[in-house]
């Protein structure tokens, strides 16, 4: 009895969708996910439906499979190649209802085993030197290194983020070395997917920054063309972040909120990100219009 | 009840040395102190007991943060051993145990129960800010000054530039040579820090 | 009487959590979470992962049990009620840290120590405003603090107190401008790796903590169960619900700045402000 109520409620909840956005589809997906019956999941763990929009290049198929396996069961993958928003929204709700009605959902695409065997070299079976570092299970562990701010010996942790990370532009793969949440080194492993000029629309650009500021409802309102209802929006962005052509991140956000398009010269990402904290770095990336970011990342990737 | 809490305190204290992650060790120690705090509450010392819980939660949090800062080693993948210098620690442990047991057994313990309805918290406050005020405040301010001083001494960024770059003393004459040792003789490693903040 | 108070605390916590879920429009998504599977990360700290949500919920319950439901009537009638609440706040920071630590993944860990960095300095303004409220009552007991507000509520007597405490409430319930643990830039941080029922439980604990801290704020600043005509518990519920709505509203409307900047604001603005409030309250109480 309780179970049937639960299932009925679950079917009425907004469909939690995690989008893997391919080339040219960023603007459409961002507009789609503001629709009332849909919910933009902030992590794949919170989603039931994986929306694959557009044709993904073969280089990111492996990442897509890993992303797919991160969704909790029961889950469904929907491909959105073309067609209008009505049709895909309808397909999403139908798929969610099928899952709630007890559809089995999809199995894992990759084997659920460690990438490597356990390799202990320390006296007590640790991975690396002393009790730190090394690559147990093929996972590179943190190792102490000079802190970029105070020169103290603090742990450095290197990891790759992307190409479908919720806080990064679609397609971008960053390899970052973190100390706490301070970025010590950053390199672009893959540039973001090409997007049409539509992705530079002021409302979409503003919404990306608003989501980082914790203003999801306001972001949805801005995309739907309604007035922003939030306080301390531009003030929350620190001054001097990613200053390019005499505009910093805060200036660009306020221009976008006044529906003005912003054009900036592509900056040098490898110089821009190190030294900033993770949240600042994400604001920096979101404060660049996708066209400028793509050119910047391609230049860095080639270098 | 007190016996149960005491047993729990001892067990969690033992776990500190048996678990294989720094974070678990920190918070096992915190649980040990929390149960000591609860014993304090049961012994009619509510303020000291609850304040112990409060202080230990904050302190162990800071300790765990530093552990993660220096060894960002998520649980389980890299097991750790919490025990080092076996002989020394065994000797120190035995010595401390014998000493504390002797202190408990040999000293005459007072046995005047707290009268029903007496305002122990107010009494503690009058004691701390009355006769013991000098000791209490001196200790408190000294500790605070030590902490602030330690942070200032270890900080790289300073009022007159980075700490490892050497400072320039005031000039002997206007526009002339600086007094004392010349900067750049040592200390600086040529590693320039571009302040992003 | 004790049984009745236990019942009152549990009913308030349950009803309040449902109300908070409705305010957040989270009721249906929470139910939906229960239909999905829980995903395991590699080599997690299982014990702490399972315990952290339970701790959070338990701390909300302990915090609520020092709140007087009628003048002179609280489940835990302690002479140091406010310090018990302070310990709950300190343990919340530990709990959130453990929640981010245990999945053994980078984003939850970043959320965990980011929250510890914000959570520790926020203890100071929190304690200062609560002690300032204890000064006119000349007692650390919440029952006496309620009694001291018979003539004038603390929200009017100490106008700095409630706004500062609302900042603490946002931080303790991981909400809006103070949600540094579960922020969007780290894919919901400490809960980034959680799915299904485990995720739902953490969200429920957050909502329960909103009930608890709003009840404490209603007691300390709005006179708790004091009020004409209606019985004490009803007044407490009304005031708690109003503060919950206010906190949810602020959480949805105010932007979150970067942790680095928030730390500066905490140490340079909020801490001196709360200290000023304490000094003024102390001089007035003389």
Contacts of B156 in chain A (CB under 8 A): 149-151
Buried residues in A179-202 as b, exposed as e (16+ CB within 10 A): bbbbbbbbbbebbbbebeeebbbb
Partner residue facing C29 (CB), from A39, A73, A211? A39
Among C26, A92, A121, which residue's Cα sits nearest to residue B78? A121
Chains with at least 3 CB pairs less than 8 angstroms from chain C: A, B
Pick the residue of A13, A107, A232 with the most C CBs within 10 A to test the interface with C by mutation.
A13
Q: Do B57 and C91 lie within an 8 Å CB cutoff? A: yes
Residues B78 and A132: beta-carbon distance below 8 Å: yes
B110 in a domain, yes or no?
A: no
Q: How many beta-carbon contacts under 8 Å exist across A and C?
A: 138
Which of A45, A214, A231 minimises the CB distance to C193? A45
Number of domains in chain B: 2
Identify the DSSP state of A243: -
* CB < 8 Å to C80, chain B: 46-47, 50-51, 121
Q: Kindly state the average pLDDT of the residues B173-192.
A: 55
ipTM above 0.90, yes or no: no
- B128, B48 in Cβ contact below 8 A? no
Contacts with B182 (C-beta within 8 Å, 6 or more apart), sequence order: none
Task: Tell if the CB–CB gap between B75 and C43 is shorter than 8 Å.
Answer: yes
Give the CA-trace dihedral at B63, B67, B70, B75, to 10 degrees: -160
Name the interface residues of A facing B (CB cutoff 8 Å): 124-128, 131-132, 134, 136-137, 139, 141-142, 144, 148-155, 157, 180, 274-276
pLDDT of B13 reads 83
Residue B85 lies in a domain: no
CB contact under 8 A, A167 and C185: yes
* A132 vs B1, more confident: B1
Condensed to tens digits (0 to 9), the pLDDT of residues C196-236 reads 888 899 999 999 999 999 999 999 999 888 888 888 889 99
Q: How far is C139 from chain B (nearest CA, A)?
A: 8
Q: For C52-105, how does the pLDDT look when each residue is reduced to its tens digit (9 = 90+)?
A: 899 999 999 999 999 998 887 888 888 888 999 999 999 999 999 989 888 878
Between C38, C177, C253, which is nearest A72 by CB? C38
Return the minimum-mean-pLDDT range out of A2-11, B23-32, C71-80. A2-11
pLDDT band with cut points at 50, 70 and 90 for residue B197? very low
**Chain C interface test: which of A10, A38, A40, A45 (most C C-beta within 10 Å):** A45
| Residue C109 forms contact with B (CB below 8 Å) | yes
| Closest residue in C to A211 (Cα–Cα) | C184
Please state the rounded mean pLDDT for residues B51-62.
87
Please state the φ and ψ torsions of residue B83, each to the nearest 5 degrees. -110, 125
Q: Compute the nearest-CA separation of C4 from chain A (Å).
A: 28
Each residue's pLDDT tens digit, C149-180: 888 888 888 888 899 999 999 999 999 899 99
| Per-residue confidence (pLDDT) for residue B194, from 0 to 100 | 40
The answer to whether the CB atoms of A13 and C32 lie below 8 A apart is yes
Q: Which of B56-60, B112-116, B179-183 has the highest mean pLDDT?
A: B56-60
Nearest-CA distance C25 → chain B (Å): 33
CA separation for the pair B22, A207 (Å, rounded)? 41
* DSSP structure class, residue A247: B
CA pair distance B27, C230, nearest whole angstrom: 45
pTM: 0.86
Nearest to A45 among C39, C43, C177 (CB): C39
Entry field: residues in chain C:
286
Asked if pLDDT for residue A118 goes beyond 70, the answer is no
- The answer on pLDDT for A144 being more than 80 is no
Residue A150 has pLDDT above 80, yes or no: no
User: How many angstroms away from the CA of C25 is the closest CA of chain A?
Assistant: 10
A24-33, A121-130, C18-27: which is most confident: A24-33
What residue numbers bound the domain in which B30 lies?
1-75
Chain A residue at shortest CA distance from B162: A150
CB contact under 8 A, B77 and A275: no
Q: Which of A301, A287, A293, A267 is nearest to A59 (CA)?
A: A301
- CA B141, chain centre distance (Å): 15
Query: Which residues of chain B are at the A interface, by a Cβ-Cβ cutoff of 8 Å?
Result: 68-73, 77-81, 154-157, 164, 191, 193-197
Distance CA C154, CA B27 (A): 36
Residue B165 lies in a domain: no
C-alpha angle B133/B135/B141, rounded to 5°?
A: 95
Q: Which of A243, A257, A283 is nearest to A202 (CA)?
A: A257
**Closest chain A residue to B152, measured at CA:** A150
Overall average pLDDT of the A234-256 stretch: 85
Q: Do the domain assignments include residue B29?
A: yes
Percentage of chain B beyond pLDDT 90 is: 10
Residue B133 lies in a domain: yes
For residue A130, the chain B residue with the least C-alpha distance is B80
Interface of C with A (CB under 8 A): 27-29, 31-39, 42-43, 106, 110, 113-114, 176-177, 179, 183-188, 191-196, 199, 252-261
Q: Which residue of A has its CA nearest to C262?
A: A236
**SS3 of residue A158 by DSSP:** strand
Please tell me the distance from the alpha carbon of residue A206 to that of residue A213, in angstroms, as a whole number: 11
pLDDT of residue B178: 67
**B195 pLDDT exceeds 50?**
no
Domain limits, CATH 3.40.50.12280, in chain A: 2-100
The answer to whether the CB atoms of C90 and B119 lie below 8 A apart is no
Asked if residue B83 is part of any domain, the answer here is no
Q: What percent of chain A has pLDDT over 70?
A: 87
- Contact between A238 and C258 under an 8 Å Cβ cutoff? The reply is yes
Domain co-membership, B64 together with B125: no
> Cβ B30–C94 below 8 Å, yes or no?
yes
Which residues from B are below 8 Å from C181, CB to CB?
Answer: none
Question: Does pLDDT of A235 surpass 90?
Answer: no
Kindly state whether residue B143 falls inside one of the protein's structural domains.
Answer: yes
Average pLDDT value for chain A: 82
Query: Whats the size of chain B, residue-wise?
Result: 197
- CB contact under 8 Å between A214 and C183, yes or no, is yes
Phi-psi sector, A155: left (phi>0), alpha (psi -120 to 50), beta: beta
Chains that touch A (3 or more CB pairs under 8 A): B, C
User: Which residue on chain B is closest to A182 by alpha carbon?
Assistant: B196
Asked if pLDDT for residue B124 goes beyond 50, the answer is yes
Closest CA to C245 of C220, C211, C216: C211
* Residues of chain A with C-beta less than 8 angstroms from the C-beta of C29: 13-14, 16, 39
C84 touches chain B (CB under 8 A): yes
Q: For chain C, give percent helix, strand, coil, nearest 5.
A: 75, 0, 25
Which residues of chain C lie closer than 8 angstroms to A180, CB-CB? 110, 113
Sorted by where each begins, the domain ranges of chain C are 2-285
Residue B189 scores a pLDDT above 60: no
| All chains having 3 or more CB pairs closer than 8 angstroms to chain B | A, C
Segment of A101-115, A142-156, B5-19, B45-59 carrying the highest mean pLDDT: B45-59
By C-alpha distance, the chain C residue nearest B122 is: C139
Distance (Å) from the C-alpha of residue C66 to the closest C-alpha of chain A?
32
Which of C29, C179, C255 is opposite residue A236, by nearest beta carbon?
Answer: C255
Mean pLDDT over each residue of chain B, to the nearest integer: 76
* Contact criterion met (CB < 8 Å) for A132 and B196: no
Q: Calculate the average pLDDT of chain C.
A: 88
Is C102 in Cβ contact with B57 (below 8 Å)? no
Task: Report the alpha-carbon distance of residue C206 to residue C209 in Å, rounded.
Answer: 5
Closest partner CB to A180 (pick from B69, B77, B156) = B69
* pLDDT for the residue numbered C243: 93
Q: Does domain A2-100 have CATH number 3.40.50.12280?
A: yes
pLDDT, residue C59, reads 93
pLDDT of A28: 87
Percentage above 90 pLDDT, chain A: 8
Strands A76-80 and A49-53: parallel
Would residue B52 count as lying in a domain? yes
Minimal-distance CA residue of chain B relative to A184: B196
Contacts of B46 in chain C (CB under 8 A): 78-80
């Amino acid at each position: 009895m309780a179970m049937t109520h639960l299932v009925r409620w679950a079917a009425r909840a907004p469909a939690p969708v995690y989008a893997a956005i391919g080339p040219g589809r960023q603007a459409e997906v961002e507009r789609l996910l503001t629709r009332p019956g849909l919910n933009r999941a902030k992590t794949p763990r919170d989603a039931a439906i994986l929306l694959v929009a557009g044709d993904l290049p073969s280089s990111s198929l492996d990442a897509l499979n890993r992303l797919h396996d991160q969704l909790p069961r029961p889950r469904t993958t929907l491909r959105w190649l073309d067609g209008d928003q009505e049709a895909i929204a309808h397909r999403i709700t139908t798929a969610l209802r099928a899952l709630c009605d007890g559809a089995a959902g999809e199995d894992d695409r990759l084997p659920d085993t460690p990438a490597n065997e356990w390799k202990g070299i320390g006296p007590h079976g640790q991975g690396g030197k002393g009790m730190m570092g090394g690559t147990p299970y093929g996972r590179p562990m943190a190792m102490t290194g000079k802190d970029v701010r105070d020169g103290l010996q603090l742990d450095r942790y290197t990891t790759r983020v992307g190409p479908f990370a919720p806080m990064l532009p679609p397609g971008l793969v960053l390899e970052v070395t973190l100390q706490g949440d301070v970025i010590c080194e950053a390199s672009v492993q893959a540039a973001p997917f090409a997007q049409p000029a539509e992705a530079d629309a002021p409302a979409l650009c503003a919404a990306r920054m608003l989501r980082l500021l914790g203003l999801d409802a306001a972001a949805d309102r801005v995309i739907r063309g309604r007035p922003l209802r939030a306080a301390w929006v531009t003030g929350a962005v620190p001054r001097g972040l990613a200053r390019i052509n005499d505009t910093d991140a805060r200036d660009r956000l306020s221009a976008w909120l006044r529906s003005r398009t912003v054009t900036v010269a592509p900056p040098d990402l490898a110089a821009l990100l190190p030294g900033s904290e993770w949240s600042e770095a994400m604001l920096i990336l979101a404060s660049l219009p996708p066209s400028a970011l793509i050119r910047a990342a391609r230049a860095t990737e080639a270098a | 009840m007190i016996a149960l809490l005491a047993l729990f305190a001892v067990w969690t204290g033992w776990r500190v040395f048996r678990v294989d992650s720094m974070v678990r060790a920190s918070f096992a120690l915190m649980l040990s102190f929390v149960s000591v705090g609860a014993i304090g509450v049961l012994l009619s010392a509510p303020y000291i007991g609850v304040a112990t819980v409060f202080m230990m939660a904050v302190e162990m949090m800071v300790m765990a943060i530093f552990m993660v800062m220096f060894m960002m080693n998520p649980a389980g993948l890299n097991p750790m051993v919490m025990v080092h210098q076996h002989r020394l620690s065994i000797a120190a442990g035995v010595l401390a145990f014998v000493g504390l047991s002797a202190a408990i057994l040999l000293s005459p313990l007072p046995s005047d129960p707290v009268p029903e309805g007496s305002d122990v918290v107010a009494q503690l406050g009058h004691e701390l800010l009355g006769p013991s005020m000098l000791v209490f405040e001196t200790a408190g301010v000294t500790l605070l000054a030590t902490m602030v001083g330690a942070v200032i001494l270890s900080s790289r960024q300073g009022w007159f530039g980075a700490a490892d770059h050497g400072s320039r003393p005031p000039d002997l004459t206007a526009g002339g040579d600086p007094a004392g040792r010349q900067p750049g003789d040592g200390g600086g490693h040529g590693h320039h820090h571009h302040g992003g903040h | 009487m004790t049984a009745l108070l236990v019942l009152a605390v549990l009913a308030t916590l349950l009803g309040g959590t449902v109300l908070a879920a409705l305010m957040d429009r989270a009721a249906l998504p929470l139910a939906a979470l229960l239909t999905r599977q829980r995903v395991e990360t590699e080599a997690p700290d299982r014990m702490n992962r399972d315990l952290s949500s339970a701790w959070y919920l338990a701390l909300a319950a302990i915090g609520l049990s020092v709140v007087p439901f009628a003048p002179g009537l609280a489940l835990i009638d302690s002479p140091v009620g406010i310090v018990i609440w302070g310990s709950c706040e300190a343990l919340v920071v530990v709990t959130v840290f453990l929640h981010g630590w245990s999945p053994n993944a980078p984003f939850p860990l970043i959320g965990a120590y980011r929250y510890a960095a914000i959570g520790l300095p926020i203890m100071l303004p929190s304690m200062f405003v609560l002690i300032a409220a204890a000064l006119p009552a000349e007692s650390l007991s919440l029952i006496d603090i309620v009694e001291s507000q018979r003539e004038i509520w603390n929200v009017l007597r100490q106008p700095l107190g409630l706004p500062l405490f609302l900042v603490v409430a946002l931080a303790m319930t991981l909400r809006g401008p103070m949600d540094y643990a579960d922020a969007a830039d780290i894919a919901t941080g400490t809960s980034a790796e959680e799915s299904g029922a485990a995720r739902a439980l953490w969200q429920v604990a957050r909502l329960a903590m909103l009930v608890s801290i709003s009840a404490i704020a209603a007691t300390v600043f709005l006179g708790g169960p004091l009020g004409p005509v209606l019985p004490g518990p009803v007044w407490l519920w009304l005031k708690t619900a109003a503060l919950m709505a206010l906190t949810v509203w602020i959480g949805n409307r105010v932007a979150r700045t970067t942790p680095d900047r928030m730390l500066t604001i905490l140490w340079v603005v909020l801490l001196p402000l709360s200290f000023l409030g304490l000094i003024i309250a102390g001089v007035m109480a003389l």
